[in-house]
Structure 1
Amino acid sequence: MKNEINKKLKRLNEETEKIYDSLAGISEEKLSDQSYGWSIIQVFSHLNDAETASLKYMQKKVQAGDKMHNTGMGNSLRMWLTNQALKSSLKWRAPSYISSPPVYSLEEIKTKWGQTRNDIQQFVDEYPDKWLSKLVYKHPMGGRQNLERAVDSFVYHQIHHKHQINRIKKKLGL
């Protein structure tokens, strides 16, 4: 199962690089433009903040060790439904506590997000196999999930925001 998780993390990082590549040649000014809501940089900041908060939650939750509950079919179904919504191009308002992500330079957010991804990889590498079916993660819509579904949620969350980035680019005439 850890091999599958690592494949998903690799895919996530590759997709992030593709998004970065699609922005080559676009000025910092355009990447930070908030004329149509969040800027592209703010979308990156939001994705990083969500992954950072998720990692912190999992690092705390794992302290319960064997006392963590096991996953079940209900957890799986709930996350599958959540992921279907995330991979669609449907839009919905962000919760108020994340209504205005910070703006960094592209290089700053790449560095911050890269460090977050390294920290996630380290967490996965050190995560005991015997806990792979334990509920270590909590998704705001999908509920409590195991480590593999946590990584899935990062993948689908990024897919969801890739639609947003494309809408922003279109509005900016890029």
Structure 2
Amino acid sequence: MKKEILEKLKRLKADTQEIYDSLEGIPVEKLGDPSYGWSIIQVLSHLNSAETASLKYMQKKVQAGDKMENYGPVNALRMYLCNGALKSSLKWKAPSYISNPATFEYEEMKSLWAATRNDIEKFVMDYPEQWLNKLVYKHPLGGRQNLDRAVDSFVYDQIHHIHQINRIRKQLGV
């Protein structure tokens, strides 16, 4: 199962590269333009912040070891419904702790996000197999989940924000 999780992370990185490729040639000023709410860079910053906060939570939670609760059908259903909403182009407010994304230079943002992804990959690689069915992650909408569902949430959150990036690009005319 850990191999499948690592494959999802690999795909997530490839999808992130597709985002960067789609932004190639857009002037940096446009990427940082907050005229229509968040700028594109702020959307990327938000994604990084969400993943960073999730990783910190999981790093703390894993200290409970075998005392972590087990993943079950209710958890699976909650995340299934949450992921369905994230795949859509519906809009809603971000949780307060990540609702005001920082503004970075574009290349700095890419470096920060790459470092976060590397930290997540290391966490997954070091994660004990016997805890793969434990509730190590907490999603603001989907509730408590196992490591596999945590990575799924990163995938679906990114998909959700691709809709937002496309909306911003259209508004900016790029």
Tell me the TM-score normalized by structure 2.
Answer: 0.98
Identical-pair percentage: 72
The equivalent of 1:24 in structure 2 is 24
- The 1:97/1:64 distance shift into structure 2, 3 A limit, reads closer
Q: Which amino acid aligns with 1:42?
A: Q
Give per-residue Cα distances to partners, 1:53-83, cap 9 Å, x unaligned: 0000000000000000000000000000000
The equivalent of 1:105 in structure 2 is 105
- Secondary structure in 2 aligned to 1:91? coil
- Secondary structure in 2 aligned to 1:155? helix
The equivalent of 1:160 in structure 2 is 160
Range with bigger deviation, 85-94 or 127-136: 85-94
In 2, the alpha carbon distance for the partners of 1:143 and 1:131 equals 18
How many Å apart are 1:94 and its aligned residue?
Answer: 2.1
In 2, the alpha carbon distance for the partners of 1:25 and 1:126 equals 38
The equivalent of 2:33 in structure 1 is 33
In 2, the alpha carbon distance for the partners of 1:74 and 1:29 equals 45
The equivalent of 2:92 in structure 1 is 92
Where structure 1 has 5 or more consecutive residues not aligned to the other structure, the ranges are none
Q: Are 2:100 and 1:130 equivalent residues in the alignment?
A: no
In 2, the alpha carbon distance for the partners of 1:99 and 1:106 equals 19
Q: Is the 8 A contact 2:8 2:152 kept in 1?
A: yes
Q: Which amino acid aligns with 1:119?
A: D
In 2, the alpha carbon distance for the partners of 1:127 and 1:95 equals 27
The equivalent of 2:45 in structure 1 is 45
- Secondary structure in 1 aligned to 2:138? strand
The equivalent of 1:83 in structure 2 is 83
How many Å apart are 1:122 and its aligned residue?
Answer: 0.2
Give per-residue Cα distances to partners, 1:121-173, cap 9 Å, x unaligned: 00000000000000000000000000000000000000000000000000000
Q: Are 2:143 and 1:143 equivalent residues in the alignment?
A: yes
The equivalent of 1:11 in structure 2 is 11
In 1, the alpha carbon distance for the partners of 2:127 and 2:8 equals 16
Q: Which amino acid aligns with 2:106?
A: L
How many Å apart are 1:92 and its aligned residue?
Answer: 1.1
* Paired residues, number: 174
In 2, the alpha carbon distance for the partners of 1:75 and 1:100 equals 28
Q: Are 2:57 and 1:57 equivalent residues in the alignment?
A: yes
- The 1:81/1:26 distance shift into structure 2, 3 A limit, reads same
Give per-residue Cα distances to partners, 1:101-140, cap 9 Å, x unaligned: 1110111000000000000000000000000000000000
Where structure 2 has 5 or more consecutive residues not aligned to the other structure, the ranges are none
Q: Is the 8 A contact 2:95 2:140 kept in 1?
A: no
